[in-house]
Amino acid sequence: MNNLSDYVIPFIVLCIVLYGIKKKVNVYDTFVEGSKESFDMTLKIFPSLLAMVVGVNIFLKSGVLDFIFSYLKPIFNIINVQVEILPMAIMRPISGSAALAILNDIFLNYGPDSLIGKISSIIQGSTDTTFYVLTLYFGSIGIKKIKYAMWAGLFCDLVGIIGAIIIGNMLF
């Protein structure tokens, strides 16, 4: 059973090739044509992806997060919410890899079974990388007016974060 996964993808590729032969499609030429289209798509996506990566790195290295936390910490203490989840809540809509690094750091410092670890895990699962999605997907097809999609995505992230805090505190 452990080796089953080694055969699944080659089996799927074989099925696709056999289906193409059955339908009398030149499988190789179709594959090459698809490769050319994917190369063009990669060239379209690259500038948006590069701009997003540079923007996230500037945001992370600038110290803006520490500045934001210094103002939000007293508010979170008043409403009895764990301040340690703030980096996760702020970074998740911006960068998935940064959020995973923060989640890993939370696991190392507090443990995955701690309240902070569980709430951070819920945040990871119930929110999305809104700015990544907007930058990559909207940018790749040339959509410039993203205002309403951005606000809808950020609102959904906020609902996910608030829900994670409430449900995490209720269940754990």
Query: Hey, where are the domains in the chain?
Result: 44-171
Which residue would you say has higher pLDDT here, 58 or 114?
114
- pTM above threshold 0.75: no
CB 84 within 8 Å of CB 110: yes
Q: How is residue 153 annotated by DSSP?
A: H
Residue 76, pLDDT above cutoff 80: yes
Say what the pLDDT of residue 154 is: 94
Cα–Cα distance for residue pair 51/73, rounded to 1 Å: 31
What distances in angstroms separate CA 131 from CA 82, 148, 150, 152, 159, one per listed residue?
Answer: 25, 13, 8, 12, 16
Q: Taking residues 163-167, report their average pLDDT.
A: 93
Q: Are 121 and 92 in contact (CB under 8 A)?
A: no
Confidence of residue 2 (pLDDT cuts 50, 70, 90): low
pLDDT at 1 over 60: no
The band of 142, judged by pLDDT with boundaries at 50, 70 and 90, is confident
Rounded distance between C-alpha atoms, residue 59 and residue 77, angstroms: 25
Contacts of 107 (CB under 8 A, 6+ apart): 117
In the predicted structure, residue 114 carries a pLDDT above the cut 90: yes
> Is there a contact between 135 and 50 (Cβ–Cβ < 8 Å)?
no
The token pair at 96 is 């998935």
Which of left, alpha, beta for 24 (phi over 0: left; psi -120 to 50: alpha)? left
Q: Are 161 and 125 a contacting pair, CB within 8 Å?
A: no
Q: Which residues of 42-66 are buried (b: 16+ CB within 10 A; e: fewer)?
A: eeebeebbeebeeebeebeeeeebe
Mean pLDDT of 125-138: 87
